[in-house]
Amino acid sequence: MRVAIDTRSLRPPLAGIGHFTHRLAEALLPLLSSDETLLAFNGWRLEPLDGQFLERVSSANSGGGSSALERATRQAAARLYSGVRLAAPARKAFRAVQAHCFRSNEERFDVFHTMNYVPLSKSRRPVLPFIHDLSHVRHPQMHPKDRVEWLRKQLALVADAPLVQTNSHFSKNEITA
């Protein structure tokens, strides 16, 4: 079985979902049987998720082994990415391009484990969503309006998921209700 994991949250600097994704991948690798493969989908491409991949993530997030130029380039790219994400039309275009990349890689995995609520697009493959909370429903004013609308639409893509993963009993009860 080929399991693709959504690794978009592993971009530096790691936040909560990124740390969780990294630790989950570390824990899964030693448990794989010979007929199982983990793949990383970073929003653009699919690649093997192995020890070398996790080392690159750790290095990129610690700044270790990087030259000053590489660190400055990463920091500039992160600032540009953050700035683009602030504009709703840019976010919409960004999501559309990533959805296309997701669909073009879909034949290369058997199941997709999305770590941040929803897959990038409707999938012909089974999806295991990880829903952290429903703050966009309970506190929509705390999120950009287009994100709230996007999440409402996108959560319909996982409404028929056979399982939903979450991180607490509170979230489980909230999602169930």
Q: Helix (H) and strand (E) counts for the chain?
A: 7, 5
Count of all residues that appear for the chain in the document: 177
Strand positions, DSSP E, 43-173: 46-48, 111-114, 127-129
Give the whole-angstrom CA distance, residue 108 versus residue 87: 32
Tell me the per-residue pLDDT of 72-106, one tens digit each, with 9 for 90 and over: 766 676 666 666 556 778 778 888 899 999 999 99
pTM: 0.79
Six token digits for residue 6: 């959504």
User: In terms of Cα–Cα distance, which of 85, 128, 122, 82 is closest to 106?
Assistant: 122
What confidence score (pLDDT) does residue 51 get? 95
CA-based nearest residue to 119, from 137, 149, 98: 98
Residues 99-121: tens digit of each pLDDT:
999 999 999 999 999 998 888 88
Give the C-alpha separation, 145 to 97, whole Å. Answer: 20
Rounded to the nearest integer, the mean pLDDT of the chain is 86
Query: What pLDDT shows up at residue 4?
Result: 96
* Chain centroid to CA 160: 19
d(CA 124, CA 100): 14
Which residues make beta-bridge pairs with 48? Answer: 39
pLDDT exceeds 60 at position 34: yes
How confident is the model over 1-29, as a mean pLDDT? Answer: 93
Q: What is the pLDDT of residue 65?
A: 53
For 152-163, the pLDDT digits (tens) are: 887 887 777 888
